[in-house]
Amino acid sequence: MWLAKVKETYGEKLQVDWRPFSLEQSNSKEGPEWKVWEQPNGLLALRAGEAAKRQGTKVFDEFLIALMKARHEGRKELTDPEVIDEAAGSAGLDLGQFKDDLGDPDLLQGIVKSHTQAVEEYGVFGVPTFIFPNGFSAFLKTYQPPEEDAVEVFEAINKLMGSWNFIGELKRPQPPWPKGVVTSG
């Protein structure tokens, strides 16, 4: 969600190409033959995102933020069709078109292709993973930075992980997370 703040600063100079990737598939304990996309109603949120993309970048961005808020602020499950519908409505999607597109089997095939490419070409295992123009990739585990730091954090990540491929991992050794970052209220 903090990339929305970065986009406010960069405007049209920052183009984010959101691509679907299934954590459920990546983290599956079912074995290599099991595929989430072959399960009933599988990948609802990813299919919804691809359906929203068909209505344009601006409305897709609004839909994505609505989904992220539902999940991370509202603690709602993105497997719930009502949560998806609520996000679609609040983003201003054409709901009739959205429902039609949601049922399009081509969406699912595109998600499978995107997921497979991410794993095979870039080694993706989690989200968010940044794929830089030069082909370097980096997974980022973070909490949302303060608004006033959003752009600086984005630029630092781009410099560090997008410029130097000899940096494999940067990790804080203090489990479960650095003291003082997250406080219980």
Q: What is the pLDDT tens value at each position of the chain, 185 positions in all?
A: 788 889 889 988 988 889 999 999 999 999 889 999 998 878 999 999 999 999 999 999 999 999 999 998 899 999 999 999 999 999 999 999 999 999 999 999 999 999 999 999 999 999 989 999 898 999 988 888 888 999 999 999 999 999 998 988 887 766 666 666 665 54
| Location of structure tokens 């209505």 | 55
Residue 112, in any domain of the structure: yes
Q: Name all contacts of 87-93 with Cβ < 8 Å and 24+ positions apart.
A: 87/48, 87/63, 88/48, 88/52, 88/63, 90/62, 90/66, 91/52, 91/59, 91/62, 91/63, 91/65, 91/66, 92/59, 92/62, 93/52, 93/55, 93/59, 93/63
CATH number of the domain that residue 36 is part of: 1.10.472.60
99 lies in some domain? yes
Q: What is the pLDDT of residue 143?
A: 80
- The verdict on residue 62 lying in a domain is yes
Structural domain count, the chain: 1
92 domain-assigned: yes
69 within domain boundaries = yes
Per the domain annotation, does 24 fall within a domain?
A: yes
pTM of the prediction? Answer: 0.83
pLDDT at 121: 93
Q: Where on the phi/psi map is residue 31: left (φ > 0), alpha (ψ -120 to 50), or beta?
A: left
pLDDT for 173 = 65
Domain around 58: 2-123
pLDDT tens for each residue of 122-175:
999 999 899 998 989 999 888 888 889 999 999 999 999 999 989 888 877 666
Residue 137 lies in a domain: no
Any domain includes 66 = yes
